[in-house]
């Protein structure tokens, strides 16, 4: 199942990194460079294997480590309501 940006989340780029704000929950999330790269990749819904492959093209990182860290970020972003995980409507 793909991950996708929550449609209500506002994003602003500050000094090359992205800050997210969810207006309905008043929660925000400041992304580091890797999180910002994932946010950019999720301009279109993507599943985990595609995200990991795309990140490995941009960052020199072991596939297993990339998968673990990406999954941790995605879990936090879904829990905060910044991303959604499931079928694309």
- Domain extents for the chain? 3-82
Query: Which class would CATH give 3-82?
Result: alpha beta
The reply to whether the predicted model has a pTM over 0.75 is yes
Q: pLDDT tens digits, residue range 14-68? A: 887 899 999 999 999 999 989 999 999 999 999 999 999 999 998 899 999 999 9
**What per-residue confidence (pLDDT) applies to 89?**
64
Residue 3 has pLDDT above 70, yes or no: yes
Give 8's pLDDT tier (boundaries 50, 70, 90). very high
In which element (H, E) is residue 68 found? Answer: helix 63-79
82 to each of 57, 65, 69, how far by Cα in Å?
A: 24, 23, 17
Written as one string, the DSSP assignment of 24-65 is: TTTEEEE--HHHHHHHHHTTS-B-HHHHHHHHHHHS---HHH
Q: Is 86 helix (H, G, I), strand (E, B) or coil?
A: coil
Q: Which of 32, 38, 7 is nearest to 19 (CA)?
A: 32
């Amino acid at each position: 199942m793909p991950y996708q940006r929550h449609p209500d989340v506002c994003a602003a780029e500050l000094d090359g990194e992205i800050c997210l704000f969810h207006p309905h929950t008043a929660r925000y999330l400041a992304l580091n460079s890797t999180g910002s790269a994932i946010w950019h990749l999720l301009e279109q819904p993507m599943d985990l294997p595609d995200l990991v492959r795309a990140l490995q093209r941009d960052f020199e990182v072991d596939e297993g480590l990339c998968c673990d860290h990406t999954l941790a970020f995605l879990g936090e972003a879904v829990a905060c309501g910044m991303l959604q995980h499931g079928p694309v409507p």
